[in-house]
Each structure stands twice: as structure tokens, then as C-alpha cells.
Amino acid sequence: MIRPATPADAAVFHAVMMAAGMDPRSSWSRTRPEDVAWSLGQGGGFLAWDGERAVGCVGWRPDGPETFTLNKLATLPEMRGQGLGAALVRAVEDMAAQEGYARVLLAVSGYNLEVRPFYERLGYRVDPHAVYAHANPASPPPVVLVREVR
């Protein structure tokens, strides 16, 4: 089951992110529950549940009048390959479309490029002109992908 996440869910959301495993050089490794709470307050997110256990998460925020930015997609390793990540992405796309946004933008970390084919299978394409406004300057430039939702 996928349900909305609020700043009050930050500790659970953060725990899923950390358990998902990310290159230790990634900015995720320095993310704290307080940072997640702030981010969820700037936009929102979703948590995926397997019974009483959170097994996936994704965040989003509006970035201008046309763009909805997807961030912090994570699923527990044992849950991968079952469509959970795709369902979380689709939840964000549906929210963006309902709110009247034209596109969903995401940035793939230079430390996590192996996930790019996943997003491309979902219809995301590299946009060399798109800018991810929240890139960490201490990390390699991300690959920015975009999908039209309207």
C-alpha cells in the first residue's frame, strides 16, 4: 500500500532511504531525519508499506510553474524487482498531473548511474537543457531526466 508521507514520517522515510543502500560518497549518506522532514515540508512524498513495515519511499516538490521534481526514491533491497519503485514513481507522476504540472524532472546521482535504465524504461529521457536546482556542488554533476505528464 502506498500512502502520503508528511514531515511527521521523516524518521521512517529516512530509515528506508538509509536501508536502501547508496554509494557512501552520495549526499544521501549525510542526510538526516531533520533534512527529510524539511524536504517533505517543501513538497511531499509517499511511503510504501508491506503490512506494518515501510519498504519504499519517494519525495517530490514543485520547482516552478511547469516542473514537479521527484527525489529520494528508495526501496528496500529485498523488495526490488516487484514493481514497487515504478508504482512510487507513478504516484508522483499522478500527483504532478493532478496539480497541473507539465513534467516530472529527476536527477540521477553520478554515484548511482546504474539506475538510469530503470527510469528510461518508465519513459524518462535525458534533457541536456534541464537543470536540477538542488544538485550538491560537492558531488559529480547529476544526469537530469524528464518525462512529460500532460
Single out the residue of 63, 133, 135 nearest to residue 99, CA to CA.
63
Question: What is the reported pTM?
Answer: 0.92
Q: Strand pairing partners for 67?
A: 103
**9, exposed or middle or buried, with CB in 10 Å at 0-12, 13-18, 19+?**
buried
Confidence bin at 125 (pLDDT 50/70/90): very high
- State the pLDDT at residue 55: 97
Per domain, the residue ranges of the chain are 2-148
CATH homologous superfamily of 2-148 equals: Gcn5-related N-acetyltransferase (GNAT) (3.40.630.30)
Confidence label for 132 from pLDDT (cuts 50, 70 and 90): confident
Question: How do strand 103-108 and strand 67-75 relate by DSSP bridges?
Answer: parallel
pLDDT tens, position by position, 91-124: 999 999 999 999 999 988 877 888 999 999 999 9
Q: At a CB cut-off of 8 Å and minimum separation 6, what does 143 contact?
A: 107, 108, 110, 113, 116, 126
